[in-house]
Structure 1
């Protein structure tokens, strides 16, 4: 039995050196015990040292990337699992492409959970002012990440708050930024962090202002904002009250008469819809795009749809998704991706660690093209003429939002975003430069996953789709 001691819980370099030596020596996974000890040699006393000139071997890049993420997981099995996969790669070089393999699936699941934990840390760290008249203005926060991601996420906070001195205290390690350099110190206790400051009132005011009772889904909200983080969020004390009042507030909102778009916007958009070359009336806000889409006559599809469906999301979104066209439920709701394909997209975004609320979601064609079968409205693919006519609105959305990355979901979106057909399978996982300086990414449309009849093939396709979303999100970071 071989006992291997690593310098820390996230000592990837030490694990890699030991794992390479063990595999070279032919030590099977079941004969290795991994442990963490900050003292002593890499190998326990009485065990042979690393081979000085071990024969070289290579492993897939995606394994190394997964292992670097998985080692941050809190599971005690991660070291052994990583070595087991490394050992198996010697006889099964294509192992990483078998999404249904239990070891590979578990390793990917660990990496996904680590990525989610990193996102939660970015979203839920709340700084408080440290009161010390003898020190420069400094902020501190206490956070308990689900996994050991503090050092992974530290550069994000240094970039975000470059001119602010801060510390993030966690049970594992403390992150410090002095305005020039990142530093780290041993983990701390909650009592070491400031308990309250005046900024908390602003957080509560902001959260109450953006809370939309009509779109409340408690289970989904708690999935995005797990209760384990509530105790460190100043706005969390408002949540029970907001949930309790949501039904009555929604009823009051529904009872109010609908608002009309600005007459100036509608007149302007109507003029634009008749003359695509009239540059003076190019929309400059998302509200103008919405108003314009409602009166658009650039193609005949306005006769078929209940309403136009423009994009939805923050104006400053760094990631934009472009689908094909609104479906039956989107046409009725006036919002993109709220039907079955939208649910698939939401599930994939969740697994990829991509918050939908931070993305802009739209379609290449803004009206629902369909054919009637009795009382049912069946989807009908838009043709190239519809795509060309509607590209003007998509270009307006792109110019307003200015995303870093645009993901084309399916062939129609690819034609609209890139101006030409492209084989999705060939160009997946590639960053393609667009004329407006954004990066383009191609992947499948979520509705494709709904049409795959074979369960195993569907699971593999969904895993690829999640990988593409994760790739796009990292590219946009």
Structure 2
């Protein structure tokens, strides 16, 4: 369609008004209406309306604040260029628009506007707008995950007009974002044959096994307080609660306290946690978490660690790795834990970190074959990513539990000097966390009369590059040289 000169002048004046300060006001009908936003945003981009000339107003917001501006929705010219938006932007935008951040509509439009001139902007991880969009998307996905995990339905009495045999279940949930409608399909599929309602402060959903309908916002008092099945569920939850796997920080991160009031089992958590802590304290006071008598030989330790399941690492699909070396070595070298290659081979320090250690030991004049080499933790801690097993550092409790084994090794080998490489190894020797930078380069007396020297772990050097790696390698060599010199002094001592 061709435009007359008068029409083109009118359009030019409209765009000039935008540049001079006229605002287009877009009143959103729903806070999660992506299709409406996309339709308006596409038209605005085609009419060359910059982001700073648009006011996006939330449902129920005061659009009158912009009454001085141009509120007529722009009509793109017939020959307007298509609006470009890649799949990554669209997927993130669909989710991010569910966020409760009032500026989300403006953020999305600003990125859409920039995409027209910079099509690959979404690949720039350092771009502030891209990072913010990813943050909104992540928060919404997390909120949806919490809804899937923590919605608890309770049976309610039949309502007026319902047959006594028609069971109706109601749940109360308080989402952080506008995720209710977006997650309707999940609950419809999961509870297809159950009549249920989900009530939230933002709105409600009702499913009668055939039709989904929306309802108005609700209050906490509109949901039932409990039903007879909850006592059975609490008994089951208490029976499967595993204190050995308890990590309070991780539990609160995954299940924040705000959700507890909606979950029947949550009332048991404080006492279960307290009971687990009391049990752990008693075991520590009794001596190393209920271990049997200390093994008297290295082969006995080797056999015992393969059967050890005292911490969660031992429950993974891995194999315990025993230390190796002379049982009367003057030097005992302690690392953090076996890695992937050590786990597969059953030998300590055979992977990249071990190969680098060999280079530096040879440079310092230390014969590895004359040393006893082991780890503070005997099993490989990892997380599975596809076919790969990615290293995870052991926690303080896991290191403290495994101290029983490394102390048993030290009691048998009776080294004159122990070299702990890394913070985990140092904790395994001392029972407390220390700063490597503060304690390296000087001996620490141990209770059996031997000396502990602390340095960095070779894997730390592997993670560095350039001058930083050169500097840390220099410090590592200096530590090994000091250990070599001290070993010579101890050998000459009467």
| TM bracket, shorter-chain basis | 0.5 to 0.7
Q: What is the match of residue 110 of structure 2?
A: 84
Match of 1:184 in 2: 214
Counterparts of 1:309-328 in structure 2, within 5 Å, are none
For 1:218-273, what per-residue CA distance to the aligned partner results, in whole angstroms no more than 9, with x for missing partners?
A: 222211111111221222222222232222222456767679xxxxxxxxxxxxxx
Equivalence map 1:271-350=2 (5 Å)? none
Deviation at 1:114, TM superposition (A): 0.3
Q: 1:23 — aligned with what?
A: 45
Distance 1:293 1:106, change over 3 A: closer
User: Helix, strand or coil for the counterpart of 2:178?
Assistant: coil
**Local SS of the residue matching 2:205:** strand
Match of 1:65 among 84, 88, 91: 91
Number of the residue aligned with 1:105: 131
Equivalent positions of 1:458-477 (< 5 A) are none
What's the CA shift for 1:293? 7.4
1:320-364 CA-to-partner distances (Å, cap 9, x unmatched) read xxxxxxx97565xxxx99xxxxxxxxxxxxxxxxxxxxxxxxx99
Q: 1:453 to 1:177 in 2, by over 3 A?
A: farther
Match of residue 26 from structure 2: 4
**Structure 1 counterpart of 2:72:** 47
TM-aligned CA deviation for residue 160 of structure 1 = 1.8
**1-structure distance, mates of 2:98, 2:268:** 33
Alignment partners' CA distance in 1, 2:176 and 2:265: 20
Does residue 32 (structure 1) correspond to residue 54 (structure 2)? The answer is yes
TM-score (norm 2): 0.54
Q: Shift in Å at residue 203 of structure 1? A: 3.2
> 1:212-251 counterparts in 2 under 5 A?
212-251=242-281
Alignment of 1:257-272 (within 5 A): none
Deviation at 1:113? 0.5
Q: 1:50 to 1:211 in 2, by over 3 A?
A: farther
- Aligned in 2, Cα 1:103/1:406: closer, same or farther, shift over 3 Å? closer
Question: Larger deviation: 240-249 or 365-374?
Answer: 365-374
Contact 2:178 2:202 in 1 (8 A): yes
84 and 37 in structure 1: CA distance in 2 versus 1, 3 angstrom threshold: same
| C-alpha distance in 2 between matches for 1:77 and 1:157 | 29
Q: Write the deviation string for residues 153-181 of structure 1: whole angstroms up to 9, x where unpaired.
A: 22222222222111111112212222233
Structure 1 residues 368 and 140, CA, compared in 2 at 3 Å: closer, same or farther? farther
Distance 1:52 1:38, change over 3 A: farther
Distance verdict in 2 for CA 1:236–1:20, change over 3 Å: same
Shift of 1:202: 2.8
- Structure 1 residue 35, shift from structure 2 partner: 0.7
If the length of structure 1 is used for normalisation, what is the TM-score?
A: 0.56
- Deviation track 1:177-229 (CA, whole Å, cap 9, x = no partner) reads 22233332222222221111122223322332233333333222211111111
User: Which residue does 2:410 correspond to in 1?
Assistant: none
CA contact (8 A) 1:66 1:111 kept: yes
**1:13 and 2:35 correspond:** yes
Cα drift, residue 145 of structure 1: 1.0
- d(CA) in 1 for partners of 2:135 and 2:347? 37
1:291, 1:62 → 2: CA distance? Answer: 36
Q: Partner of 1:145: helix, strand, or coil?
A: coil
| Per-residue deviation, 1:368 | 5.9
Report how far residue 410 of structure 1 moved: 7.0
Residue 290 to residue 103, structure 1, CA distance change in 2 (3 Å) = closer
Change (3 A) 1:292 1:95: closer
Write the mapping of 1:418-429 to structure 2, written as runs, cut at 5 A: none
Compared with structure 1, are the counterparts of its residues 99 and 453 closer, same or farther at alpha carbon in structure 2 (3 Å cutoff)? farther
- Tell me, what secondary structure is at the counterpart of 2:55? strand
* 1:450-465 pair list within 5 angstroms: 451=463, 453=465
Matched residue SS, 2:117? coil
SS in 2 for 1:114: helix
Give secondary structure in 2 for the equivalent of 1:26: coil
Deviation at 1:80, TM superposition (A): 0.7
Determine if the alignment matches structure 1 residue 208 to structure 2 residue 238.
yes
The equivalent residue for 2:155 is 129
**Cα contact 1:18–1:50 (8 A) shared by 2:** no
Distance 2:32 2:317 in 1: 53
Structure 2 counterpart of 1:96, from 112, 122, 128: 122
SS in 2 for 1:167: strand
- Name the residue aligned to 2:471: none
CA 1:62–1:46 in structure 2 vs 1: closer, same or farther (change >3 Å)? closer
Shift of 1:365: 4.2
Q: Secondary structure at the match of 1:90?
A: helix
In structure 2, the CA distance between the partners of 1:80 and 1:303, relative to structure 1 (3 Å rule), is: same
Kept after mapping to 2: 8 A contact 1:304/1:370: no
Work out whether residues 169 and 193 of structure 1, in 8 Å CA contact, stay in contact via their aligned partners in 2: yes
Aligned length: 312
Alignment RMSD: 4.2
Paired with 2:151 and 2:208, the residues of 1 have a C-alpha distance of 18
The question of whether the paired residues in 2 share the 8 Å contact of 1:8 and 1:38 is answered with: no
Aligned with 2:134: secondary structure? helix
